[in-house]
């Protein structure tokens, strides 16, 4: 009986994957392949590729332009990061993709990822500059701060007997130069667009989960005092903003079309005339 149930699950899953839009398959494949490359490099060479392909804020000496694009496909080597992202992606993105089309799906993923980085980068730079000003005003030489190794951690013990205020600011300085990785910024664009496309389905379980996810994220943004996570949440919000901007531009584009895709027509109520 268990074998039959397992086979049935595998058949359903295989059918589901085979019916995914082409763009979703491409994005899914890239994320999974990149993740396994990260795992292999970490296992055999004890190096985390996020230090190279995650994106650092522009205030960090480790920032490279190519990271703005590579970070969207990079995930922590711990599986829960990529699993959570891809589950949400597979729940929402296919439905959105079938309406906006494959080309727009790729554009949406990349564009919202870029806006996510800009939001993250603004917050990190703003906080970094404030910390540098505070340290400078207290007479602490910011040039002394050295980020150790690939992970950019600071060994406080190398600074001697510094007071607690300096120690706290130096550690906050470290957090403003940490990297961002993952597809969540891009995924938040699909999260924010989905309700607009399927707003008539008020009792949808997916819509309830979406609302819960956004509420939890906003609560963390308000009460979480640890800056590194706060910057990540601003990255999420940046992705959502990117999704809204993309959606509005797409609607304006559709106004010039005489034919609107099946499900989008009655929902969006756009008059082509």
Task: Judge contact between 75 and 36, C-beta under 8 A.
Answer: no
Q: What is the pLDDT of residues 207-222, one digit of tens each?
A: 666 666 665 655 555 4
Which class would CATH give 18-268?
Answer: mainly alpha
Find residue 180's DSSP bridge partners: 55
> What distance lies between CA 39 and its chain's CA centroid?
20
Which pLDDT score is estimated for 159?
60
Range in 18-22, 124-128, 173-177 with the lowest mean pLDDT: 173-177
| Whole-number average pLDDT of the chain | 79
Residue 88 corresponds to which tokens in the numbers above?
């949400």
pLDDT grade for 72, boundaries at 50, 70 and 90:
very high
Q: Which sequence spans correspond to the domains of the chain?
A: 18-268
pTM over 0.85: no
Q: Does residue 96 contact residue 112 with C-beta atoms inside 8 Å?
A: no
CA 43/CA 35 separation, integer angstroms: 12
Q: From the CB of residue 158, how many other CB atoms can be counted at a distance below 10 Å?
A: 10
Q: Which of 20, 247, 53 is nearest to 150 (CA)?
A: 53
Check residue 266 and give its pLDDT: 46
C-alpha distances in angstroms, 36 versus 25, 65, 113? 17, 24, 21
């Amino acid at each position: 009986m268990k074998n039959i149930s397992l086979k049935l699950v595998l058949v359903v899953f295989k059918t589901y994957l085979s019916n995914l839009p082409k763009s979703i398959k491409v994005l899914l494949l890239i994320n999974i392949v990149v993740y396994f490359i990260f795992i292999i490099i970490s296992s055999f060479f004890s190096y985390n590729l996020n230090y190279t392909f995650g994106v650092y804020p522009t205030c960090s000496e480790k920032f490279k332009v190519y990271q703005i694009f590579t970070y969207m496909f990079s995930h922590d080597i711990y599986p829960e990061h990529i699993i959570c992202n891809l589950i949400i992606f597979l729940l929402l993105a296919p439905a959105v993709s079938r309406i906006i089309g494959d080309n727009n799906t790729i554009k949406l993923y990349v564009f919202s990822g870029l806006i996510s980085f800009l939001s993250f980068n603004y917050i990190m730079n703003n906080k970094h500059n404030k910390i540098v000003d505070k340290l400078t005003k207290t007479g602490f030489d910011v040039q002394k701060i050295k980020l150790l190794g690939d992970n950019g951690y600071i060994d406080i013990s190398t600074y001697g007997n510094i007071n607690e205020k300096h120690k706290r600011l130096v550690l906050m300085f470290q957090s403003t130069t940490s990297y961002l990785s993952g597809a969540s910024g891009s995924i938040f664009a699909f999260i924010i667009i989905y309700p607009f496309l399927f707003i008539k389905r008020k009792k949808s379980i997916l819509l309830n989960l979406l609302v819960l996810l956004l509420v939890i994220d906003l609560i963390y943004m308000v009460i979480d005092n640890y800056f590194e996570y706060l910057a990540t949440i601003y990255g999420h919000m940046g992705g959502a903003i990117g999704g809204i901007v993309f959606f509005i531009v797409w609607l304006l584009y559709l106004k010039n079309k005489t034919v609107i895709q099946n499900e989008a027509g009655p929902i969006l109520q756009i008059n082509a005339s």
